[in-house]
């Protein structure tokens, strides 16, 4: 089986629309659940999902990207990847069933044994998701995952809200997660018309693992730094604090996930396509980075300035302590999305192995900080500082895979930062407050965007005009 790459705007638009709608539905569901459940409920769920997410990365083992990078690809290679992932999923599913009492007691939460065992069933779906997602990425058929995610998210919301209203507390989220994952997997497999075969080749496994190992280690260190960070917060600061942290991270995480999962799956195949042509590769990277930073930075900047009225408006006064978490984590996610685009370029060049060291450093610093410091806010500041330092290192290292200079790289990353920072400062100087949270949100949003776009016209005029022309084309304005 040979799959060709496609190079046009349609896959990104479909992917962006899919993820935006999917994340909006999930966010809306979480807002309703926040009014039904308590911080401790979300703290318990955060720990459960952190454990499952770590195992999910191990089971996937970077195989999705490895399949995308393999061109042409055979049925035996796909089958080999599937059965390798299946063996891992069965292994970890069995381990969770037997060792969940030990895991729960070691983190001081004996009541999570049953929900952890229930969630472990979702591990059995991962091999199917890995292969189907790889085929969808390879062919850029993101409309299939759009339909699958839409249906599964709607069912998740319906199930969790009914169960939460009936008093099932955090168990409602666990049950909803398992059912939605099963529905999502089934629909994707149905659309791509892929059925597992019994073919297996150790030679093909060796080849595909050589492609996936570095990305797996990178992904594993990334998820370890986040998931174990959440587990240790729950262990050190208890479920309620973790629940507040979880709600504070939810909105910026939703924005980050929408952008990252829209950009990365589409950008990577095109990076791979241009991998042999250094000039096209460089132009594509700089163009992609500049255009997305123009949109990404003001979105996170706006989220930072409206975090206080937004939390109270959406979640109620019960979650007022989550405001500080949201502000700080918004800054951290801004750096994360900037790192993501650069990482895709390194993956395409198969030069991402030396980036693993920096992921390891970040993971060690975050985990050590939980034990060394008692102030969670200080720990998050340390997390932001570490992300910022790693970003600068990434930018410096990028010059080794591009035909450009440091000035152009920093320009593509930070030119949009100037109007964003000025807009943020202007809002705080403006200091507008209202008895109506909706009016306060509306006024701050309009003023922020107005200042940003006016400044961008003078500071980043080329990209500004590019988006104006794109908008005209979209609306078919002559």
pLDDT digits (tens, 9 = 90+) for 157-189: 999 999 999 888 889 999 999 999 999 999 988
What pLDDT does 149 receive? Answer: 83
Give the tokens for residue 300: 């996170």
Token look-up 């009492």 returns: 101
pLDDT score, position 239: 80
Query: pTM score, two decimals?
Result: 0.74
Least confident of 52-66, 120-134, 392-406: 392-406
Residue 221 backbone zone (phi > 0: left; psi -120 to 50: alpha; other: beta): alpha
First to last CA, the chain: 43
Tell me the longest C-alpha to C-alpha distance in the chain: 67
Q: How high is the pLDDT of residue 354?
A: 60
- Say which residue the tokens 């911080």 belong to: 39
Percent composition of the chain: helix, strand, coil (DSSP 3-state, to 5):
85, 0, 15
Per-residue pLDDT band at 13 (split at 50, 70, 90): low
On the question of pLDDT at 2 being above 50, the answer is: no
The pLDDT assigned to 14 comes to 57
Average pLDDT, the chain: 81
58-64 mean pLDDT: 83
* Residue scoring higher pLDDT (297 or 5): 297
When pLDDT is cut at 50, 70 and 90, the band that residue 51 belongs to is: confident
Q: Evaluate if residue 357 carries a pLDDT over 70.
A: no
Q: Alpha-carbon distance 421 to 423, whole Å?
A: 5
Q: What percent of the chain has pLDDT over 90?
A: 14
Residue 358 pLDDT:
66
Residue for token digits 């959440």? 230
Using CA atoms, how far apart are residues 431 and 95, in angstroms rounded to an integer? 54
| Res 7: pLDDT | 42
**357, 306 Cβ separation under 8 angstroms:** no
476 — pLDDT class (breaks 50, 70, 90): low
Nearest Cα residue to 416 out of 468, 469, 471, 456: 456
Higher pLDDT, 216 or 265: 216
473: Cβ–Cβ under 8 A, 6 or more apart, which residues? none
- Of 286, 237, 229, 255, nearest to 408 by C-alpha is 286
Asked if 449 and 417 count as a contact pair (C-beta separation under 8 A), the reply is no
Per-residue model confidence (pLDDT) at position 276: 81
3-class SS of residue 306? coil
CA distance 326 to 312: 12
Q: Which residues contact 390 (CB under 8 A, 6 or more apart)?
A: 339, 358, 359, 361, 362
Whose CA is closest to 69, among 308, 271, 287, 363? 271
């Amino acid at each position: 089986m040979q799959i060709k790459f496609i190079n046009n705007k349609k896959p990104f638009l479909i992917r962006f629309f899919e993820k935006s709608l999917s994340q909006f539905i999930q966010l809306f569901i979480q807002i309703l659940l926040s009014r039904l459940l308590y911080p401790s409920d979300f703290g318990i769920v955060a720990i459960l999902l952190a454990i499952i997410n770590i195992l999910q990365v191990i089971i996937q083992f970077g195989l999705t990207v490895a399949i995308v990078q393999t061109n042409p690809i055979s049925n035996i290679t796909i089958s080999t990847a599937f059965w390798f992932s299946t063996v891992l999923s069965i292994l970890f599913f069995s381990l969770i069933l037997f060792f969940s009492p030990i895991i729960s007691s070691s983190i001081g939460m004996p009541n999570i044994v049953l929900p952890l065992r229930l969630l472990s069933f979702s591990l059995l779906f991962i091999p199917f998701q890995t292969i189907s997602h790889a085929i969808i990425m390879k062919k850029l058929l993101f409309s299939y995952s759009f339909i699958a995610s839409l249906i599964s998210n709607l069912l998740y919301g319906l199930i969790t809200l009914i169960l939460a209203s009936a008093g099932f507390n955090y168990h409602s989220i666990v049950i909803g997660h398992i059912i939605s994952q099963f529905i999502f997997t089934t629909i994707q497999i149905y659309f791509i018309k892929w059925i597992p075969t019994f073919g297996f080749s150790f030679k093909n496994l060796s080849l595909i693992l050589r492609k996936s190992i570095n990305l797996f280690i990178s992904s594993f260190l990334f998820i370890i730094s986040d998931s174990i960070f959440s587990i240790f917060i729950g262990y050190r600061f208890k479920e309620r604090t973790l629940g507040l942290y979880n709600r504070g991270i939810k909105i910026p995480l939703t924005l980050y996930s929408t952008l990252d999962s829209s950009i990365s799956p589409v950008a990577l195949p095109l990076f791979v396509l241009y991998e042999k042509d250094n000039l096209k590769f460089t132009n594509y990277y700089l163009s992609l980075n500049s255009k997305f930073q123009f949109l990404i930075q003001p979105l996170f900047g706006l989220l930072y300035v409206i975090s206080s009225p937004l939390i109270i408006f959406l979640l109620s006064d019960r979650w007022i302590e989550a405001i500080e978490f949201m502000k700080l984590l918004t800054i951290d996610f801004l750096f994360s999305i900037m790192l993501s685009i650069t990482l895709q370029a390194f993956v395409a060049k198969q030069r991402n192995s030396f980036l693993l060291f920096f992921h390891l450093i970040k993971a060690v610093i975050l985990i050590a900080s939980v034990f060394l410091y008692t102030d969670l806010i200080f720990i998050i500041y340390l997390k932001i500082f570490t992300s910022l330092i790693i970003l600068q290192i990434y930018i410096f290292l990028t010059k080794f895979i591009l035909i450009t200079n440091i000035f152009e790289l920093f320009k593509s990353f930070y030119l949009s930062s100037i109007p964003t920072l000025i807009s943020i400062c202007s809002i705080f100087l403006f200091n507008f407050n209202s008895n109506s949270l909706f009016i306060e949100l509306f006024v701050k949003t309009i003023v922020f965007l107005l200042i940003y776009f006016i400044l961008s016209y003078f500071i980043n005029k080329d990209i500004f005009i590019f988006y104006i022309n794109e908008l005209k084309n979209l609306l078919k304005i002559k």
